[in-house]
Amino acid sequence: PTSDIGLIGLAVMGQNLVLNMADHGFDVAVYNRTTSVMEDFIKEVEAEQPSASRVHGHAELADFVASIKCPRKIVLMVQSTAVASTDRDAVDKVTDQLEPLLQEGDLIIDGGNSNWNATIRREKEYAAKGIRFFGSGVSGGELGARFGPSLMPGGDPEAWESLKPIWEAIAAKVDRETGKPIERFDPSNPVTLEEGEPCTGYIGANGAGHYVKMVHNGIEYIDMQLICEAYFLMKQLIGMQPDEMSQVFARWNEGDLDSFLIEITTDILQQRDPTDPSRFFVDVVLDTAGQKGTGKWTSISALDMGIPANAMAEAVFARCLSAIKDERVAASEVLRGPAEAVDFGDQGEFIENIREALYCSKICAYAQGFQLMREAQNEFDWDLDFGQIAAMFRGGCIIRARFLQKITDAYAEDPKLANLLLNDYFNEAVNKGQAAWRKVVSLAVLNGVAVPAFASALAYFDSYRTATLPQNLLQAQRDYFGAHTYERVDRPRGEKFHVDWPEENRPQLTL
Ligand code: NDP
């Protein structure tokens, strides 16, 4: 055997990860269900890549397995469709085919976007057969996979030790002092571990890596939605053109909002339509968003565990509302908004208010994401290091941002921090921005411009900082119609009471 690692699944992510590993000096065996895909890839690599001699194609699965050094490490980058833990998809099919060819102690790493429930099931199921099954989130899309993704591995800690040298080598790197990503898109000169801190690290047992990757995607949904709402306010209320907005986003990218998503938004807004350069590209893109499911999974998990991740769920619903285009077009002919426009005042000041609203909302969204992971660690018996997770998000992945250094610092100060909002830096940031945030949400509402993520993040903030919410009345209602009992403010928590509501006060049933 000559290869350090094997990879199955040569679609876009698999191919790029292979090249990344080869650039870092690892010999990689590759296999794909459809052999011609593997052959085409090998031809392309031989023609174009300096590291071609380190990529070895195999048409037969048995040859592929035999070519890898023991204990074998085999990465799966195949389509994942399982949602429930019992669903079996391509990941199971390939693992079942590999099983008779593997030896005790060999390691399978699922690098796809698998549901964490399926990973928990697989880890247990394959451990019983002597195979160590590992789930690792991979973020950063095609370019990340090629030049440095953020990698979120979960499974047996011993298995991690054997994977660690490769994962640390190929992961994105950030500057050890500033936490800023080091980006270099040069295959013959990849960023090394000596140059920067890798955006990977052991996350936890079984499905922990895939869970954290899923929450990353949930945060990605809300981050994108918040940027879209800022854009929409500038478009609808101020009437700005895309190139003018691009300049605003470019400015924002120099401050607290400095991030990959703001950067690409800056680029997108100045792009012209390739078929008609007199128009802006963004103006010809249909306003219906697609989704592959990880945002939905994040929201379902939040609901299952009773965690108020309302802004994250709102971002998923915003995509759903965008998708019912025909219905919206028909409704726009019938339903009217406010009769009169409400003035936003000075344009420059209003744009700065939008920036502050975006930053405050973003802080709440991340607070929700981290609360969700905190609850998941109790639910699934993981031991998560939130500072390390934030540190891993600083480079390589879609949500990479300057802001993540602040989260890393917050958890370094207090690893048991209950909510990001309680950290001094974030508390002060929201305090400073809240007047602007409230003004932006109010003006949006008064003018009939939907800003669901800005508004729900604000509702989260206001609810979270309020000692007494109106759910005293709600619990009384539940006791009235369903004898669900209530607790009292003047008695210890946990003691339940019930009022025998007088018969004449009960609502009459009408048939
Ligand atoms: P796809 O999700 O499109 O998967 C295609 C690959 O899966 C092909 O190699 C295909 O082989 C293989 N495959 C499908 N079914 C089977 C099967 N039954 N047996 C064997 N092989 C099978 O590829 P991507 O590269 O887009 O994604 C790979 C994984 O990475 C997915 O889980 C995805 O969610 C995740 N991911 C994707 C990102 C992206 O930006 N695309 C970003 C981060 C993660 P064949 O050629 O024979 O059809």
Report the nearest-CA residue for atom 46 of ligand 1.
Answer: 34
Beta bridge partners of 30: 7, 57
Determine if ligand 1 sits within 6 Å of the CB of residue 215: no
Determine if ligand 1 sits within 6 Å of the CB of residue 275: no
**pLDDT score recorded for residue 1:** 78
Cis peptide before 149 (omega within 30 of 0): no
Report the nearest-CA residue for atom 6 of ligand 1.
Answer: 78
Determine if ligand 1 sits within 6 Å of the CB of residue 217: no
Determine if ligand 1 sits within 6 Å of the CB of residue 38: no
Q: Are strands 5-8 and 28-31 parallel, antiparallel or unpaired?
A: parallel
**pLDDT score recorded for residue 503:** 72
Q: Give me the residue label for tokens 């932006």.
A: 440
Closest ligand 1 atom, residue 141 Cα:
40
Determine if ligand 1 sits within 6 Å of the CB of residue 35: no
**Closest of 184, 197, 133 to residue 163, by C-alpha:** 133
Residues of the chain by 3-state class (helix, strand, coil), percent to 5: 55, 10, 35
> Ligand 1 mean position to 288 CA, how many Å?
24
Domain 471-505, CATH: 1.20.5.320
| CATH class given for the domain over 5-206 | alpha beta
**pLDDT score recorded for residue 210:** 97
Hey, which of 7, 12, 13 would you mutate to test ligand 1's pocket, going by the most ligand atoms within 8 Å of its Cβ? 13
**pLDDT score recorded for residue 263:** 97
Residue numbering of the annotated binding site for substrate: 113, 139-141, 216-217, 221, 292, 319, 478, 484
Strand, coil or helix: 128 = coil
**Closest of 145, 450, 167, 165 to residue 314, by C-alpha:** 450
Closest ligand 1 atom, residue 114 Cα:
32
Q: Are strands 181-182 and 5-8 parallel, antiparallel or unpaired?
A: unpaired
Q: Are strands 150-154 and 132-139 parallel, antiparallel or unpaired?
A: antiparallel
Residue 192, H or E segment: none
pLDDT along the chain (511 residues), means of 10: 95 98 97 98 95 97 98 96 89 96 95 95 93 95 96 94 97 94 93 96 97 97 98 98 98 96 98 97 97 94 98 98 98 97 97 98 98 97 97 95 95 96 98 98 98 98 98 96 94 95 64 50
- 124 is a catalytic site residue: no
**pLDDT score recorded for residue 421:** 98
ipTM of the complex: 0.98
**pLDDT score recorded for residue 412:** 96
Of the candidates 173, 213, 406, 439, the residue annotated as catalytic is 213
Closest ligand 1 atom, residue 34 Cα:
47
For 82-126, give the secondary structure using H, E and C.
Answer: CCCCCCCCHHHHHHHHHHHHCCCCCEEEECCCCCHHHHHHHHHHH
Domain 211-464, CATH: 1.10.1040.10
Report the nearest-CA residue for atom 29 of ligand 1.
Answer: 112
Residue numbering of the annotated binding site: 113, 139-141, 216-217, 221, 292, 319, 478, 484
> Ligand 1 mean position to 90 CA, how many Å?
9
Determine if ligand 1 sits within 6 Å of the CB of residue 32: yes
Report the nearest-CA residue for atom 12 of ligand 1.
Answer: 78
Show me where the domains of the chain are located: 5-206, 211-464, 471-505
Determine if ligand 1 sits within 6 Å of the CB of residue 463: no
> Ligand 1 mean position to 161 CA, how many Å?
26
Closest ligand 1 atom, residue 149 Cα:
43
Determine if ligand 1 sits within 6 Å of the CB of residue 153: no
Q: What whole-number distance in Å separates Cα of residue 288 and Cα of residue 200? A: 34
> Ligand 1 mean position to 37 CA, how many Å?
12
> Ligand 1 mean position to 76 CA, how many Å?
9
Determine if ligand 1 sits within 6 Å of the CB of residue 143: no
- Residues 6 or more apart from 6 whose CB is under 8 A from it? 28, 29, 30, 31, 64, 65, 67, 68, 72, 73, 74, 75
The amino acid that residue 273 corresponds to is D
Sequence-ordered strand ranges (E) for 100-196: 107-110, 132-139, 150-154, 173-174, 181-182
Determine if ligand 1 sits within 6 Å of the CB of residue 90: yes
Kindly state the greatest CA–CA separation across the chain.
Answer: 86
**pLDDT score recorded for residue 337:** 97
**pLDDT score recorded for residue 507:** 58
Determine if ligand 1 sits within 6 Å of the CB of residue 82: no
Of the candidates 220, 229, 314, 356, the residue annotated as catalytic is 220
**pLDDT score recorded for residue 506:** 63
> Ligand 1 mean position to 71 CA, how many Å?
25
Rounded to whole angstroms, what are the CA distances from 89 to 27, 83, 85, 115, 490?
Answer: 28, 9, 11, 11, 54
> Ligand 1 mean position to 318 CA, how many Å?
27
Instruction: Report, in angstroms and rounded to the nearest whole number, the Rg of the chain calculated over CA atoms.
Output: 26
> Ligand 1 mean position to 27 CA, how many Å?
22
Give the side-chain half-sphere CA count within 13 A for 235.
15
Enter the tokens of residue 191. Answer: 């960023």
**pLDDT score recorded for residue 84:** 85
- 168 is a catalytic site residue: no
φ and ψ at residue 23, rounded to 5 degrees: -60, -30
